[in-house]
């Protein structure tokens, strides 16, 4: 849920349902295999984080996943990819129904990702930032053998600090550009975004990953924005100082992650473009979806191995994507 203030500045409502699913069940929702369903849309960068982390940690057998389609109306994301347009587990056509089960007159935006309590059909949380941290810290009893440490205790302060700047300046920064309602608001948003991207370039020039020598939560959070930069944000959101493919350090870093199991195999470029260009009719009233850019270059050598680092630390890569959870052929690079 977002709005544009009288100065034309985009602002995101971050007042989410902050109930947590924890090992001790302090909020009334204990971690429990099979009890919850993660509802996502491949198009959404915030939901994409949860898809990646769930896969890296190997939570597929304990936390089922439901995929909404790439477009939605003013009411809700819908399960139009499923037979009959109904989620096979929750038996609903709109994620809105699960929100109303929790709060009958839920007044805010119906967002993904959301975790639903299957027995009651009610949303437990849509707090996407806390969700992935809890996957790393509260669901540990169900991590796969060889699961990486995405939020290691000794690096949490630094991860939090880096992630905070990535969120305000990059993840949300592209939206601040795209939905600016005045020239002045846009100019300021543009400058803020590229100042942050220059900072990230400097940080990543000499180290393979954002914090430490392994992939962490911070990398997941940056990756989902970078993956959408050239297909959407560069043109649609006017973030056009340069394409990602014209920023050598960030482009190599993004390709490195894309080619890492659990990252690129979650990216559906077709759905990503359909979502932004068809839903944001105030920005793109024709709803015409661009054919480009060419995606083959995502698979070109990146050379980042020369910086050292171990993607999964002492852990191992996740196995192949599960049947029924794979990005459709032709929707990804390669």
Extract the tokens encoding 222: 């940056």
State the span(s) of the chain assigned CATH 1.20.1050.10: 153-307
For residues 318-322, give the mean pLDDT: 96
Query: What mean pLDDT value characterizes the chain?
Result: 95
Q: What is the pTM of this model?
A: 0.96
Scanning the structure block, which residue is given the tokens 């009890």? Answer: 35
- pLDDT digit string (tens) for 247-298? 999 999 999 999 999 999 999 999 999 999 999 999 999 999 999 999 889 9
- pLDDT digit string (tens) for 201-252? 999 999 999 999 999 999 999 999 999 999 999 999 999 999 999 999 999 9
pLDDT bin (cut points 50, 70, 90) of residue 331 is confident
Q: Is 46 marked as binding a ligand?
A: no
| Positions marked catalytic | 44, 175
**pLDDT at position 302, please?**
98
DSSP string, 139-208: SGGGPPTT---SS-GGGHHHHHHHHHHHIIIIITHHHHHHT--SHHHHHHHHHHHHHHHHHHHHHHSS-S
State the span(s) of the chain assigned CATH 3.40.30.10: 2-142
| Cα gap 94→91, rounded to integer Å | 9
Q: What percent of the chain has pLDDT over 90?
A: 90
2-142 homologous superfamily: Glutaredoxin (3.40.30.10)
pLDDT bin (cut points 50, 70, 90) of residue 109 is confident
CB 173 within 8 A of CB 189: yes
| Structural domain 153-307, CATH architecture | Up-down Bundle (1.20)
């Amino acid at each position: 849920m977002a709005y544009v203030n009288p100065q034309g500045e985009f602002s995101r409502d971050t007042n989410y349902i902050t109930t947590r699913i924890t090992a001790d069940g302090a909020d009334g929702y204990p971690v429990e295999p099979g009890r919850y369903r993660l509802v996502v849309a491949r198009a959404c960068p915030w939901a994409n984080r949860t898809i990646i982390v769930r896969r890296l940690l190997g939570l597929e057998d304990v936390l089922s996943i439901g995929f909404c389609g790439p477009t939605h109306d003013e009411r809700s994301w819908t399960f139009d990819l499923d037979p009959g347009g109904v989620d096979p587990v929750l038996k609903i056509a709109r994620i809105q129904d699960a929100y109303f089960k929790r709060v009958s007159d839920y007044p805010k935006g119906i967002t993904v990702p959301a975790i639903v309590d299957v027995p009651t059909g009610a949303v437990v949380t849509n707090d996407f930032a806390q969700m992935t941290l809890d996957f790393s810290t509260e669901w540990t009893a169900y991590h796969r053998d060889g699961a990486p440490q995405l939020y290691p205790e000794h690096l949490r302060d630094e991860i939090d600090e880096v992630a905070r700047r990535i969120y305000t300046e990059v993840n949300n920064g592209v939206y601040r550009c795209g939905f600016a309602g005045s020239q002045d608001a846009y100019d300021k948003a543009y400058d803020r975004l590229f100042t942050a991207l220059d900072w990230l370039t400097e940080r990543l020039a000499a180290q393979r990953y954002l914090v430490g020598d392994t992939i962490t939560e911070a990398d997941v959070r940056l990756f989902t924005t970078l993956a959408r930069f050239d297909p959407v944000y560069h043109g649609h959101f006017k973030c056009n100082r340069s394409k990602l493919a014209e920023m050598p350090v960030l482009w190599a870093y993004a390709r490195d992650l894309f080619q890492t199991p659990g990252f690129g195999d979650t990216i559906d470029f077709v759905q990503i473009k359909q979502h932004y260009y068809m839903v944001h009719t105030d920005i793109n009233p024709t709803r015409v979806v661009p054919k480009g850019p060419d995606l083959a270059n995502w698979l070109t050598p990146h050379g980042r191995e020369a910086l050292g680092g171990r993607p999964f630390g002492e852990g191992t890569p996740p196995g192949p994507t599960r049947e029924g959870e794979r990005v459709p052929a032709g929707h990804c690079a390669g």
